[in-house]
Each structure stands twice: as C-alpha cells, then as structure tokens.
Structure 1
C-alpha cells in the first residue's frame, strides 16, 4: 500500500514539540499547556497610559508578522493540510496580542543607544502581551513570537514568559556588493534574514577594486564608469535610500563603506583623485589636496542618504609600492620629510580627520590589521576599529584609544573560523559559535567592545549561493552577540539552530542544514 505524504509526516514527526526563539532570550520560562495559534492573529498597541499607538513602523510590522506566522513553521495552508487543525490537545487559541510601548514615536530613532529590550508573555488562556520601551523592541518581540509557533500552528509549552535584551548593541552582517553585484530585492531578502536572527547592523561594503556600483547625484561618473555594467549593476540614489528605509523598518541600521585610500576603484570614474604616474591607478593620492575636497563632498552627499551615525572607510591592505613607484608622490614625500609608505598613510588619515570628517557628524570606522594601520591616534576621537586579522589584536587597538568591533573569527568564507578545526562544512558554525568576544581582555577593556559582525566576502559568493553559505553561520554569530555570555552549550544550540534553519527554510530562505533532520520545507 502506498502511503501519503500526510501519513508519512504524521508518523515521522511528533505532534508535540516545544520551539524556542533564536537567539536564546536572556530569561525564558515555559509550562506544559498546548495552545492553538490563529492563522489570522491580530495586534493592537497602546502606551503606558493605555492611549492607542499608531505609526507606520508598527502597522507594517504587525502586517509582516501576521503573514510570517500564517506562513511559518506548520502554519501555512499547505502545512495545515498535512495535519489535524486545530490540534485536539489545544486548550485555547492565541488570536490577539496586546502591545504596550513605553516611549512611542512617529519617527523613532534607531542608533547604537536604542533600547531593544522587550517582555513577551503567553498565558494558558491564550492571552498574549508584549511590553517594550521602543518600537524596535516590539519588532524583536514579534520575531520571537513568530518563532514559538511550531507544528500544527501550535504552541506546546504555555505559559511562556520572556524578558529579553541583547548583550551587544552592535550585531552585524557585512555584505560585499563589489565582487558580485547583489540586486536590490536580494539585499532586502538579506535584511529579512538578519531580522529573523535579530542582527541589527548591515555593514555594506559597496565598492572595491572590482567595481563601484554606488550611485551619486554629485558624481554620477563613479558608477557610470565604475560599475560592472551601468545602470543594471549599480544602485541609484533612490535604490540606496530604499534599502536604508527597508532596513529601518526591520530595526536594522545600514552602515556604508567606501574603502580609502585603496580598494576603491575610484580611478574608473575619477582618475584625477588617484595616483596617475605609478603602478596602481585605483589608489587615492594622499599628496593631492583635491582628494580631500572630493571625499568631503562625496561623503556629505552620502551622509544624507545614510543617516546612521557610523561611516566606514576601510583603510587596510594599501599597497605602498603605489606611492614609491610614482615619481610625483615620491618627490612630494622627500620634500615633506615623509620617510615611507606607512608614514604617508598616517598623513592621509590625519588629513581625513582634519579635512573630510568635520561636518559629517559621523563616527568613523576602519579595518584594523595586525600592523596597526590606520593608527587610532590618527583618527577622530571616538573612532572604532574592526579587528579582522586576529582577535589577539583587540587589546592593542583598545589600549591605543579605539573602540572595537570583532569580525576576524566570523569570516563566513573561511572553513576554520577562529582557528577551530571542523569535520565537515555543516559543522563550521560550531567554531563560530564558540568564539567569545571578551577572550584576552581585561574588565576595563571589555567596555570598549561594541560588538561584532559576520563578514560575507563575495569573491566566491553571489545571490545564487549566498543563503547556503552565509545565513546559518551568521545566525550562530547572532546568538553569540545577543545571548548571555553563559550560553555556550553547543549541543543545546544545535537542536535549537536546527529548528531555526527549518523556520528560515519555511520562509523561503535557503539556509544550510547543520545535521540530519526533517523539515516540512523538504516536501512542501
């Protein structure tokens, strides 16, 4: 006799299974009562004084999460056809959720200081309550609520009480649209996957030596001549603004990066700002006064497009032979007693600090390698360094006066993250999960750690394989940056991460599996 998919599923999967939010909340208690989750759950929001809160940010979030719950883990129409609905053991239905926002705003600020905390409670009677200081805390709570609804569109472990907040304010994912162009709709898809794991900073490495797709009204030639193909593989100013808005609505800041003085393909559209008589046509000429005037004008325009307080300007891996191979630059160095390429880089960053950054109202971020360049003392006060080459560099960077973001152990294109040996590709996440950002730091130094980010460099990654390579490992990093420092059990994390991968798969995200398992997305 041939068995139906429904009968196979009903025999293969337990009807009662408790799902938990990813990342693991700071405080999370559960019971044993099963509840049915309405496929058309509704939300309402009020202030502490029970006055109605109505703004676009919340209304969009309510619509988005109603759809996410309806189409999520076992709640879609296709999944419901494989199950009895509602589950016979359900005691009540979660059909509404009341949200209380302590400090509502029509245009809430999203910054490093934004309060992302929330409380979520689900009673045995099906009641659902969320309290948060800001709308962005509400968004995280709604994400957690969407994680709780499992097979048969049910919650198996009420009452549930969650009190949650992130460990670090900076929890990032870096994407690289220069090595392989990423269409706008796919960047929005990436933003959705970030929100699902409560990552909150999109570090956008927009340009590099290979291409300059970043649009500009002031300098349109940068993209016209620098993109792989224009206008198809470029981002208009409206595209840039649209991505910023899309991310904001999901509680995600967009921090743009244009690398200077190297790595930038500046010379394709603006050859006059690069070294013209040397061996490297895409390295900015630190001896040319117009370079700083140009950068200030370009970045002033970009500052209006990208409102985030952080601006990233790269700074690493400058080929100093570009300086010494240029007769013009070499003569200037001799005339100004600049002894070598390292000293000229130091001069460059001093000029950026003096001439480019004033008036932008931005906090400067740069890559900081083991050679220490750019030096923190050459940067504006309050600048931060992204430590990418070795985690052991963090104390030195901090002691020299900069805050730090850690990324080195979390390069998603690496097979031995953080030096961990791994058995198989599906186990790489474990190495990333076991990295502790505070390792090797004194208590006082720990206060200078802003957080961390996973980096998806795109030499070998495009929109076709991004999800499979990046998403699951980035989710592992997300829990390390959100959850309490004591959350270190890899076996427990594996069980919960398998659930999360399945959840993402059900949402149409091609996140990579980490162990043998079955998910409804395998047959739907």
Structure 2
C-alpha cells in the first residue's frame, strides 16, 4: 500500500469521525474543531509568567499544573465512543506534537502578600480568608492550533482567562480533549480533531452539589474525591449539609458535647476545624466554594443528646409524624433565652471555620405543632416564635460577615419578611421558583421533582424520572427580568 494512499485514507477516516461523541462536559458555549491529530507527551510544558501573579494565584496554578501533569503521566482510559485513527508506518511521523500550553490571566492585579499567617500546616492568608466571591468571572478561551508558525517554533496552545478560576476550568477542558491509544508502537495520549477553539463561560454563577453528612457520614478522603469529580464537571459550589437530626458530627470548641454525644462515633465519625479547613482549601484550589448548612430550628434532634433543655418535642413516639417530617422528632425552643445564648456562642465559631461569604441557615420542614405548648406559656403565636428565632439567627449570621441562605418554606409557607439579600433555595417542586422571585429574593433551585437523588429516583417528590434529570430548566416560565434572580442550582 503506497504512502500517499495511507495518508488519504487517514484523512478520510478523520473526516468520517469529525462528528464525534465528545467527552467535554459540560459542552462549551462555543467550540470549533477540525480534523488533525496531535500527539501529547507527559513532558508537555505548562508555562506562565509568575511576575504578574500574587502568591496565592501562583499557588493555585502550580497545584493545577501538578494535577494535569499527573493526568498526562497516568491516564490510560480507552474511550468507548471517541474514535480516531493512528497512521501506520511512516505516516506516524506526520503527527505534530503539542509541546506546551501558555497560560495568561488577562485581568490579574498583583498584590503584595508578605504578611502570610501560618495556620495548622498550610498557608492561610488574607485572600484565602475572603473565599471565592459569588459571580467570579470563570470564563476562558482555549486555542489549540494544528500548525506551527514556522519550522523553528514548537506547537503551542494558548489558554487565557480573566481570573485563575477560568484557568482551572480551561485546564480541565484541555484534559478532556485527550484520548489514550493502546498499541505496541504508538501507545500514549493523542489530541484528535484539532485545531480547537473554545470560548466558554457558565450560564449560572452557582452550580452546586449537596451532600448530607449527617444521615450518612462520609470520611474526609471521600469528600475530597467528590470535590475532584465536581471540578471535572466545572461545578463550583459544595453545599455541605453537615448536620441534621440524626447526628451532629462537627466538633465545636465551645460546645464539645455536641459531637461527643451527638455524633455516630465521637472519635471516628467527626469533622474537626482542621478537617473542615482542609476541605475548604482543597475545594478552593479547584475553583469550588464550600457553603455549610447548619439546619435550624427543625432537623435538630441531635442537639438533644447533649442539650435537651433547649429543645422541644423530643422523641415523640409513636406519633412522631405529628411533630416532624421524619423521625426522630425534636426542634430548638425559640421561647427561652438559653436558646439564643447557644446561638450567639455557637454560630460565630462554626461560621469562622468556612471562608465563603454565604451561610446556609436551613429552615425547612419546621413543624409548628412542636411548639404548641410554648404558645400557652407566653404571649407569642407559633408563627411569631418562628419569626423571632429567624430574626435572631440571621442577625448573628450577618454580624459574622455572612449572607444567609434559607430553604423556601420561610417565604412560601411562613411568609416571613427576610432581608432582601437572603438567598432562597427551592426544593419542593420547580413551580415554587416563580413564587419566590416574585417576592424579590435571589434563588438557588434544586427541585425535588427532578434532582433529589436520595429519594429513590424521585420517588418521594415525583416518579416520572426517566431522563428527566437532564431536562430541568431552572428558569422555565420566568420572564427575562425574573430569570436574573435565579443565581444557580442546588
């Protein structure tokens, strides 16, 4: 078979597979590609000019470089969908090698950060304490050519972004364009369908995953794995539902008895301040914000194990369903001053463990029957007791420099007047989104009729789920102005 025929055959095969099933997820906003095949070796250089970066940004890029270099060395997965042809014999010499990626942060302002503080065993400086702001620009542009400028230069890709977080996403996208080929002569990573030109940015600024570590404890090493997977999918919020009625795994220095008596195992199934900061830093290095949820006043039975004096309707059996959405029953008592002393001492402590500016205060499934006896002892109604509790809780959160997030019931069922910067999270069903934005609140939606994976594929909040999870449109039925209030999902 002639060399000319081989090359023609190679080009035809690439053209046939140019409409390929890709591994990019999510699909970029704008993406053009071609038919050329490139080779990528583990020695691929990842270059940038650190003189224009502050120390923390430099640290983030260096850790991202290390992750990509590890991928280049270890990746051996064979894609079942993406097919490309390696030319045989002398044709292999026609494949160009991509030698480097040039990184540029286009909007970076270098700041002097010599006043670093050492906390535990990692650098914890002022920029890190600020966390990643909501609405950070995560856009990027990735250009991978298939031709050299001239015979003397190497083939170089360019990755540009206004912030380091766009760079992190762009490097993940680059890794998803690489495919492993297993053969005796030409095994290794290839980059098919070049040239690539990708311009990408997220549609929503809040793209989250919620994990409940109260009902089911997850060790820190497993949470870190989840964060890795989130980063590959360009999700940027880890909603850590860290406590609930069944257990209190968070170790408080002010109230150590909470975890000593409320965790499943007070030695092994707990999260210390050090653990939480490890998760927070690991997440931020991947462009992920960590938002904690300490659900109150409902879903708090675990507190009763150590502080029953500030609780009501504890362990109401057999008619627990009259006092709570699920067993065991028990809610904080909003009618006594001891409860507010507890809040004023606990909330500032646990809020300080997290760098994000948002704090999820819970507020779902508050059962007012639980407070029936309290109404008979003072001048409050059940609803006014709830209003008193929420007002006090939000005031503490705000004093700590945090913005509260709450579940939808506070505004859709109890009709409380919350501060307008409060973010309301919708979960019962997707139709509630419009009701909340009409009240003027920003919304995060994770509707149970589409997205509750822990309910038996939607069994509790909707049974028709075949393919439904991917069909959910968070802004369906909203006007353009209303849609602006939806900052994201879960």
- TM-score, normalized by the shorter chain, greater than 0.5: yes
Match of 1:240 in 2: 276
Q: Which shifted more, 130-139 or 45-54? A: 45-54
- In 2, are the aligned partners of 1:61 and 1:139 still within 8 Å (CA)? yes
Q: Find the partner of 2:415 among 375, 379, 385.
A: 375
Sort the Cα spacing of 1:172 and 1:277 in 2 relative to 1 into closer, same or farther, 3 A: closer
Q: Distance in 2 between matches of 1:122 and 1:450?
A: 32
> Hey, what does 1:113 align to over in structure 2?
135
What is the CA–CA distance in structure 2 between the aligned matches of 1:50 and 1:342, rounded to whole Å?
Answer: 52
Shift of 1:113: 2.3
The whole-number CA distance in structure 2 between the counterparts of 1:257 and 1:137 is 27
In the alignment, does 2:26 pair up with 1:23? yes
Corresponding position: 1:46 with 2:49: yes
TM-score (norm 1): 0.74
- The 8 Å contact of residues 72 and 146 in structure 1, kept in 2 or not, is answered as no
2:460 matches 1:412: no
In 2: Cα distance, 1:168 partner to 1:317 partner = 27
Q: Is the 8 A contact 2:394 2:404 kept in 1?
A: no
Q: Number of paired residues? A: 420
Considering Cα pairs closer than 8 Å and 6+ residues apart, tell me whether 1 or 2 has the greater RCO: 1
Deviations 1:347-391 (A, max 9, x none): 32233234x2341111111111498245351x2330011110011
Q: Which of 128, 138, 145 matches 1:123?
A: 145
RMSD: 3.0
Q: 1:162 aligns with which of 198, 216, 223?
A: 198
User: Corresponding residue for 2:481?
Assistant: 444
Query: Normalising by structure 2, what TM-score?
Result: 0.79
- The one-character-per-residue Cα deviations of 1:61-96 (angstroms, maximum 9, x if unpaired) are 1001111233335489xxxxxx99999276211231
Q: 2:262 aligns with which of 226, 243, 250?
A: 226
Q: Which residue of 2 aligns with 1:357?
A: 397
Give 1:318's aligned residue: 366
For 1:421 and 1:61, how far apart are their aligned partners in 2? 40
1:294 Cα deviation from its structure 2 partner: 1.8
Determine helix, strand or coil for the equivalent of 2:280: helix
Q: In terms of mean alpha carbon deviation, does 100-109 or 439-448 score higher?
A: 100-109
Match of 1:346 in 2: 387
Question: Do the aligned residues in 2 keep the contact of 1:32 with 1:159 (CA within 8 Å)?
Answer: yes
1:39-438 matches, cutoff 5 A: 39-46=42-49, 55-72=58-75, 74=77, 88=92, 91-102=95-106, 103=108, 107=127, 110-125=132-147, 126-152=155-181, 153-264=189-300, 265-275=302-312, 279=316, 282-324=330-372, 326=373, 329-332=374-377, 335-338=378-381, 341-354=382-395, 356-369=396-409, 372-373=412-413, 375-377=415-417, 379-408=418-447, 409-414=450-455, 415-416=457-458, 421-422=464-465, 428=466, 430-438=467-475
What SS is found at the alignment partner of 1:151?
strand
Provide the secondary structure at the position in 1 that maps to 2:48.
Answer: strand
Provide Cα deviations, 1:161-182, integer angstroms capped at 9, x if missing partner. Answer: 0111100000000000011100
Residues 26, 165 of structure 1: 8 Å contact kept: yes
